[in-house]
Amino acid sequence: MILIQGGRMIDPIKKVEQVGDVVIRDGKIDGIGVYENDGRYEQVINASGCVIAPGLVDVHVHFRDPGLTYKEDILTGANAAAAGGFTTVICMANTKPTVDNIDTLQYVIEQAKKTGIHVLASASISKGLKGETLTDMAALKEAGAVGFTDDGIPLMNGKLLQQAMEQAAKLGLPISLHEEDPCFIKHNGINHGSVSEKLEIYGSPSVAEDSLVARDCMIALDTGAKVNIQHISSAKAVEAVRLAKKMGANVYAEVTPHHFTLTEDAVLKYGTLAKMNPPLRTEADRQALIQGLQDGTIDMIATDHAPHSREEKAKALTEAPSGIIGLETALALGITELVEKGYLTLPELIEKMSLNPARLYGLDCGKMEEGAKADLVIFHPKESFVVKKFYSKSANSPFVGWKLKGKIHYTICDGKIVYKGIS
């Protein structure tokens, strides 16, 4: 048994906080209250000054395995997740080969069992991510897929997407969508605006995102499917989701820490480390994302953890791949940029990083109650640290050198300590 003493416990379901102790037995939360260290515990953790919260859930990670393991693999990705306080992550399907068949899916699932956290796998919507033919979604669900996505590539065939949503609705699984119409884009990863003009690069205008978000929200409304708008970045896209929710669509939206923290100006400072799809946009867009988090239009914070090698990111701005790593800085950026600045309370942040992502996928986690799985993160919300080294294989982050609040002390998954912070 493990006794965690004197922590500030956050229950995102009941939306309550209390100072007390947590007892862990046989991988479950056995008790919440006040307990004495009477010698029967195998380990006692002093959580004074710290928060005890449900383990974080990230519905959008790229572990590059199989096929691109020089960037990341399932084990190193899981280690990075644990260091960031995540106990459950969902891998995207754009590996090489694509997770569009049972053999590749089973490979991911088997590798996931070797990690200390819950690594779940999505499957692709279309075969080979080509947007032409649907995968056997029923068979993939039976084999263990928890959802479907062609993330990285937008689905341009609206009829095919409608069919996919209808099938996903029957299966009771969510569909997650990357929303950027390539017909509007000349250079991806950089917002079409004042910064791109300075760099003499056309970039990616927000209409590329807005148009697909509006379309897909309406298809979601028509089909009744559970749909996740991934890494939302523009004010108009947020408004489209807000309207769709009011109309009754079962639409969720996620935002990344880099999108609610940075603007297009970061490209001038960080170069390719600030290049991502969709791109960082204007301050007005950033504020709209924060407002969306505040009023519930945006349900979740997801990292879009996207490792790339140093050599790849050293290429010219228009040639380097898009994306940054994010698992190890997500919670701290949420605390530093949202909680410390008064945009969200800490319980609201935890809800968007644990309970709401779990609800999207129907997962039995994100809870802080007796009998729940002992998936927990223990962190000090006021303790600062400087971003330096990563557990990820890659280090493509603009946040290296940043001083952030919210140091993680422990991550516990299924009652076992999978990460212990360095004092």
* Domain limits, the chain: 2-51+371-420, 55-361
- pLDDT, average across residues 206-224: 98
- pLDDT, average across residues 232-251: 98
Q: Would residue 331 be called left, alpha or beta, if left means φ above 0 and alpha means ψ between -120 and 50 degrees?
A: alpha
Type of residue numbered 151: D
The pLDDT of residue 415: 97
Contact 86, 327 (CB under 8 A): yes
Type of residue numbered 15: K
Q: Which CATH architecture has domain 55-361?
A: Alpha-Beta Barrel (3.20)
Known catalytic residue: 26? no
Give 80's pLDDT tier (boundaries 50, 70, 90): very high
> What are the respective helix, strand and coil percentages of the chain, to the nearest 5?
35, 25, 45
Count Cβ atoms below 10 Å from residue 181 Cβ, excluding itself: 18
Q: Would residue 304 be called left, alpha or beta, if left means φ above 0 and alpha means ψ between -120 and 50 degrees?
A: left
Residues 58, 181, 216, 304: which is the catalytic one?
Answer: 304
Nearest to 368 by CA among 5, 12, 118, 1: 12
Average confidence score pLDDT of the chain:
97
Percent of the chain with pLDDT over 70: 100
State the Cα torsion 336-341-346-351 to the nearest 10°.
-90
Residue 189 pLDDT > 80, yes or no? yes
Give 216's pLDDT tier (boundaries 50, 70, 90): very high
Which residues, listed in sequence order, are joined to residue 11 by a DSSP beta bridge?
16
Structure-token pair, residue 314: 């050293």
Nearest to 123 by CA among 104, 405, 113, 269: 104
The pLDDT of residue 422: 77
- pLDDT, average across residues 292-307: 98
Integer CA distances (angstroms), 246 to 36, 211, 359, 398, 420, in order:
49, 19, 19, 36, 43
Give 423's pLDDT tier (boundaries 50, 70, 90): low
Query: pLDDT, tens digit, for every residue of 319-378?
Result: 999 999 999 999 999 999 999 999 999 999 999 999 999 999 999 999 999 999 999 999
- pLDDT, average across residues 193-201: 97
Query: pLDDT, tens digit, for every residue of 89-146?
Result: 999 999 999 999 999 999 999 999 999 999 999 999 999 999 999 999 999 999 999 9
DSSP code per residue over 304-354: -B----HHHHTS-TTTSPP----TTTHHHHHIIIIITTTSS-HHHHHIIII
pTM: 0.97
The pLDDT of residue 165: 98
CATH fold, domain 2-51+371-420, is: Urease, subunit C; domain 1 (2.30.40)
Residue 14 pLDDT > 90, yes or no? no
Query: pLDDT, tens digit, for every residue of 263-275?
Result: 999 999 999 999 9
Report the relative pairing of strands 86-91 and 300-301 from DSSP bridges: unpaired
Contact 244, 219 (CB under 8 A): no
